[in-house]
């Protein structure tokens, strides 16, 4: 009997002006600018294996693009503590750079969890964007 080969899919970060469409791996992340705000779209699982790629992308967007960002979580299927830590650290980094971090679109279980940490969560992406809902 032949041994079964296991293929490990590495996290991918997609930097484009379009939302991520290829969700073949466990994690896909991409960003686009909407006015003076960056929208980071995430799909798949944010766990111990994918958190470093998520952290790298958020830090890149905050420090080199726009420090005001909304993380769109509509397509997130799992968020482990490592992902929560990434969001909390990104929030702090955004504030250090004169910006802020908001989350949007998470499933109910995730939205309840996010309310316990610093980032503000909005039901929809439109509500989280400053053009639609000013920071209060």
> What digits encode the pLDDT tens for the residues 10-67?
444 444 443 443 444 678 999 999 888 999 999 999 999 999 999 999 999 999 999 9
Is the pLDDT at 126 greater than 80? The verdict is yes
Is the pLDDT at 101 greater than 50? The verdict is yes
- Which residue in 25, 1, 2, 3 sits closest to 14, CA to CA? 25
Output the average pLDDT for the chain. Answer: 81
What is the arithmetic mean of pLDDT over 120-135? 79
- Which residue in 32, 98, 96 sits closest to 70, CA to CA? 32
Residues 6+ apart with CB under 8 A from 104: 70, 71, 72, 73, 74, 121, 122, 123, 124, 125, 127, 128
Provide the pLDDT for residue 41: 95
* Predicted TM-score (pTM) above 0.85: no
């Amino acid at each position: 009997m032949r041994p079964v080969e296991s293929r490990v899919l590495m996290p991918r970060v997609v930097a484009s002006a379009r939302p991520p469409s290829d969700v073949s791996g466990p994690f896909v992340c991409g960003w686009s600018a909407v006015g003076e705000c960056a929208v980071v779209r995430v799909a798949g699982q944010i766990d111990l294996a994918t958190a470093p790629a998520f952290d790298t992308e958020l830090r890149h967007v905050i420090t080199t693009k726009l420090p005001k960002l909304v993380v769109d979580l509509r397509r997130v299927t799992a968020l482990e503590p490592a992902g929560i830590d990434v969001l909390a650290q990104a929030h702090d980094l955004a504030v250090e750079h004169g910006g802020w971090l908001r989350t949007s679109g998470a499933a109910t279980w995730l939205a309840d969890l996010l309310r316990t940490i610093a980032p503000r969560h909005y039901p929809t992406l439109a509500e989280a964007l400053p053009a639609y809902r000013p920071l209060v």
